[in-house]
Amino acid sequence: MSAKVDELRGGEALPLRLRNVRKVYRSGKKGVEAVKSMDLDIEPGELITLLGPSGCGKTTTLRMVAGLETITSGDVFIGTTRVNDLPPSKRNVGVGFESYALYPPLNVRENLAYGLKAGKRVADPDKTVDELADRLEMHDLLDLRPASLSSGQKQRVALARALIRKPPVLLLDEPLGHLDASARQHVRRELKLLQRQFGYTTIVVTHDQLEAMTLSDRMAVMDAGIIQQFGTPDEIFDDPANLFVADFVGEPSINLFTATVVRDGGRTMIRVGNDVLETAAQNAPDGAEVTVGIRPQDCTMKNVTRGLSGSIFVYEDLMEHGIARVNHPAVPDKPLVVQTPAELQLETGQSVTFSAPPKRVYLFDKDSGDRIR
């Protein structure tokens, strides 16, 4: 084992692979399958996020990679080393968990320097601490003890401690969750820069889609212990694999409504009430009832003569663009949302017609939620 473990001691970024990884928590007689047969391939130096709702298995996944949780079945490889049976300290991963304790008797500078000395020898630990403190704008925290830090400050220190040893693999659980809006933006940018500069192979857990979109090379959207889709932020946004991904990612949320498929020669249309709209989906059977998804950002009212027609329920001018909520007679439960260009001003009650490019009119199976392409 030792020859292989050597690869984990080096500073090189390493690939990370999960193969058929499962986690079942036992509580009494019942088992909770928190992670179901997960496969994931992360390139050296890549930053991926695990994004999903509360309880979908993100933290469990991260803890199994870190070695803080046993793996029920399957394998985790860092580089070519199978790490299932290695303790956390032998995996040489940098972990930033909310609950990850700082040493109470040491001040922040000593805590950071301690993390550094626990790794490889560094000529001037103080200088390294100062440089990182500059980058994360946390110089004023260096003389404080952990007990006197706010939750946001603790989070910065935990992040710094994970970063400081320049580990080949970095695992961060909601690293920005307690920061206020402006600190969050700054730390997010620095995290990405530091990650690029030092090339850590990184997994960030988040339930914040904006964070995932801006940080990720690729993101894994999870639900119920399963990766629903793994891809670049653009792939996830522009080409959702199923209804869950389409609905979970995107702000404002995607419009979803029921419609009927009408095949018309080589073209596929959907019918909603009296309106029809073309879709690029080729595999929808004529007459089928489907769930249609159209993103507010993909809608246009410009030069549209045929599309979905309704009346403005509410219009909000958000300066850089507007958001129109449109009542459609065949979509009774909620208004359809259309993002409009800044120069357009709309009034409540006004009649409007909008459409979307055919390849942006997504169809989903009504029962399974699978995408119909």
Question: Least CB distance from residue 214 to ligand ATP, whole Å?
Answer: 19
Phi, psi of 152 (to 5 degrees): -65, -40
Q: Tell me: does residue 274 bind ligand ATP (CB under 6 A).
A: no
Q: From the CB of residue 8, how many other CB atoms can be counted at a distance below 10 Å?
A: 20
Contact predicate 64/35, CB 8 Å: yes
Pick from 315, 184, 323, 319: nearest CA to 253: 323
Cα 25–Cα 167–Cα 35 angle in degrees, nearest 5: 20
- Over the window 172 to 211, marking each residue x when it contacts ligand ATP by CB under 6 A and - when it does not, the resulting string is -----------------------------------x----
Q: Which is nearer to ligand ATP, 2 or 27 (CB)?
A: 27
Kindly state the helix (H) or strand (E) to which residue 190 belongs, with its residue range. Answer: helix 181-198
Pick one of 10, 31, 55, 287: the residue that binds ligand ATP (CB under 6 A). Answer: 55
Q: Please give the Cα distance from 31 to 294 (Å, whole number).
A: 38
Q: Which is nearer to ligand ATP, 58 or 156 (CB)?
A: 58
Pick one of 58, 91, 154, 156: the residue that binds ligand ATP (CB under 6 A). Answer: 58
Tokens 């932020």 locate to 233
Kindly state the helix (H) or strand (E) to which residue 82 belongs, with its residue range. Answer: strand 81-82
Q: Please give the Cα distance from 107 to 202 (Å, whole number).
A: 27
Contact predicate 361/270, CB 8 Å: yes
Q: Tell me: does residue 94 bind ligand ATP (CB under 6 A).
A: no
Q: Which amino acid is at 128?
A: T
Q: What is the DSSP string of 133-170?
A: HHHTT-GGGTTS-GGG--HHHHHHHHHHHHHTT--SEE
Question: Least CB distance from residue 279 to ligand ATP, whole Å?
Answer: 33
Q: Tell me: does residue 314 bind ligand ATP (CB under 6 A).
A: no
Q: Which is nearer to ligand ATP, 66 or 142 (CB)?
A: 66
- Over the window 224 to 263, marking each residue x when it contacts ligand ATP by CB under 6 A and - when it does not, the resulting string is ----------------------------------------
Q: Tell me: does residue 96 bind ligand ATP (CB under 6 A).
A: no
Question: Least CB distance from residue 81 to ligand ATP, whole Å?
Answer: 24
**What tokens were used for 171?**
């695992």
Q: Tell me: does residue 70 bind ligand ATP (CB under 6 A).
A: no
**What tokens were used for 294?**
């159209």
Would you mind telling me the total number of residues written for the chain in this entry? 373
Question: Least CB distance from residue 24 to ligand ATP, whole Å?
Answer: 9
Question: Least CB distance from residue 240 to ligand ATP, whole Å?
Answer: 20
Question: Least CB distance from residue 55 to ligand ATP, whole Å?
Answer: 4
Q: Which is nearer to ligand ATP, 33 or 235 (CB)?
A: 33
Enumerate residues 24-53 that contact ligand ATP by CB under 6 A. 25, 27, 32, 34, 52
Phi, psi of 294 (to 5 degrees): -135, 125
Q: Which is nearer to ligand ATP, 69 or 190 (CB)?
A: 69
Q: Which is nearer to ligand ATP, 144 or 226 (CB)?
A: 226
Pick one of 57, 233, 240, 296: the residue that binds ligand ATP (CB under 6 A). Answer: 57
Number of residues near ligand ATP (by CB under 6 A): 13
Pick from 107, 174, 116: nearest CA to 147: 107
The alpha carbons of the chain give a radius of gyration, in whole angstroms, of 25
Q: Which is nearer to ligand ATP, 16 or 116 (CB)?
A: 16
Pick one of 48, 56, 78, 270: the residue that binds ligand ATP (CB under 6 A). Answer: 56
Question: In DSSP terms, which residues pair with 42 in a beta bridge?
Answer: 16
By the criterion CB under 6 A, which residues form the site for ligand ATP?
A: 25, 27, 32, 34, 52, 54-60, 207
